[in-house]
Structure 1
């Protein structure tokens, strides 16, 4: 895995929160950048599980007991999804070799109900993480985030949320491998 904090993240890059970040929305978080342009940035926190299940948010999906993650503190009345594998919907945006963002939600639910998509290959998110124009670059200059430009669907979809931050850092190697073992409270280091 490689890293470059000197460039603006691209869709499909991961933002790894620095080890001692105290913002409750982003402590030990891994954010998947879905969009980053002159208007700002949009991402989804990959490792913050909510207390909700999909069938508690949407009517008529009773057989679907999918986990729902907190994508971020912005507009938590919205629902987003990513999936891995082959492209399922023409409107999906490719973020990595086999990771896709969005698409036809009704069609997705139908495919899930019919068992044509495995629940572990999809992630649902309430809310998102957003940055105004220039805000993310300012946070990068302040070293709030570590940018990882290698997106691995196995880590994203099949690692436990509690371990994802540590796994990504370890896979980046070097000084990041050491950071993976830092305590949350620097006084304990």
Structure 2
């Protein structure tokens, strides 16, 4: 179950720096400013369009009256729906079969890479509903940027594998961020060798420290391993809006919130007590 995979550590990229626990290995983005803006717009439209199609399909299957149909056509600011297979930018929502597995029970994993583009890396992501209730300064960081620019940022437990990753909410400024990997429109990720640029973007006023979220550790699988776990019923695969991934102070209730938004039997699962294992 979600076994540790040493071959997909973000630190193992060829672009690694000193390889300490803060994490390494970012891929560059060489597209032009105009191209970045166009691709971002198309990607944003595509994800929301797919979500709208799903909601309308469910409305047609389960329609009861005109009021329900009219409501289903409004996507809303927060949305989530099931997927048939994992993809970069989706979330893995733990099922009741992971109750009792301390690291992953009731967890939501944001998949930063699906392993389909670079199969040798395997799928990997960060758990996004495990705040550590500590700020970076409490960890006494030796990195200058973490000790100064990002000292007040909160920390989250990202998974059992050793590396540190940050998410950046770009607020439509993806054309400015050239050294971070875009996961979904408005959200990129980076690691230690991106801290210099990240700090510079804060110091020049492009972003604020609260636009970043820092994770200690990550989760990773071999490609076949994740597929087998999904087939065994350990994970529900879903797409959701970016404001759920990069939520506020209530991330601990994200598991319930996403399942509730997915509706049907998923909504019923969100209200089930944990299994006694």
d(CA) in 2 for partners of 1:58 and 1:13? Answer: 33
Alignment match, 1:19: 96
- Matched pairs, number: 182
Alignment match, 2:223: 133
Aligned: 1:153 with 2:230: no
Where do residues 1-189 of structure 1 align in structure 2 (5 Å cutoff)?
A: 1-5=80-84, 7=85, 9-21=86-98, 22-37=100-115, 38-39=119-120, 40-55=122-137, 56=139, 57-60=141-144, 61-62=147-148, 64-75=151-162, 78-84=163-169, 85=171, 86-87=173-174, 88-102=176-190, 104-113=194-203, 116-150=206-240, 152-159=241-248, 160-185=250-275
d(CA) in 1 for partners of 2:179 and 2:143? Answer: 24
Greater mean deviation of Cα atoms: 82-91 or 169-178: 82-91
Shift of 1:114: 5.6
Shift of 1:73: 0.1
C-alpha distance 65-11 of structure 1, shift in aligned 2 (>3 A): same
d(CA) in 2 for partners of 1:133 and 1:168? Answer: 24
Over residues 69-123 of structure 1, what are the superposed CA-to-partner deviations in whole Å (9 max), with x where a residue is unaligned?
Answer: 1110011xx2211111222421222222211122722121233356542333221
The answer to whether the Cα contact below 8 Å between 1:121 and 1:157 also exists between their aligned partners in 2 is no
Q: TM-score, normalised by structure 2?
A: 0.60
Q: Which of the two has greater helix per residue?
A: 2
d(CA) in 2 for partners of 1:50 and 1:164? Answer: 15
Structure 2 gap ranges (5+):
1-79
Give the aligned CA root-mean-square deviation in angstroms.
2.1
C-alpha distance 115-186 of structure 1, shift in aligned 2 (>3 A): farther
d(CA) in 2 for partners of 1:129 and 1:58? Answer: 24
Structure 1 gap ranges (5+):
none
d(CA) in 2 for partners of 1:94 and 1:58? Answer: 27
Q: Which of the two has greater strand per residue?
A: 1
Say which one has the larger Rg: 2
The answer to whether the Cα contact below 8 Å between 2:97 and 2:234 also exists between their aligned partners in 1 is no
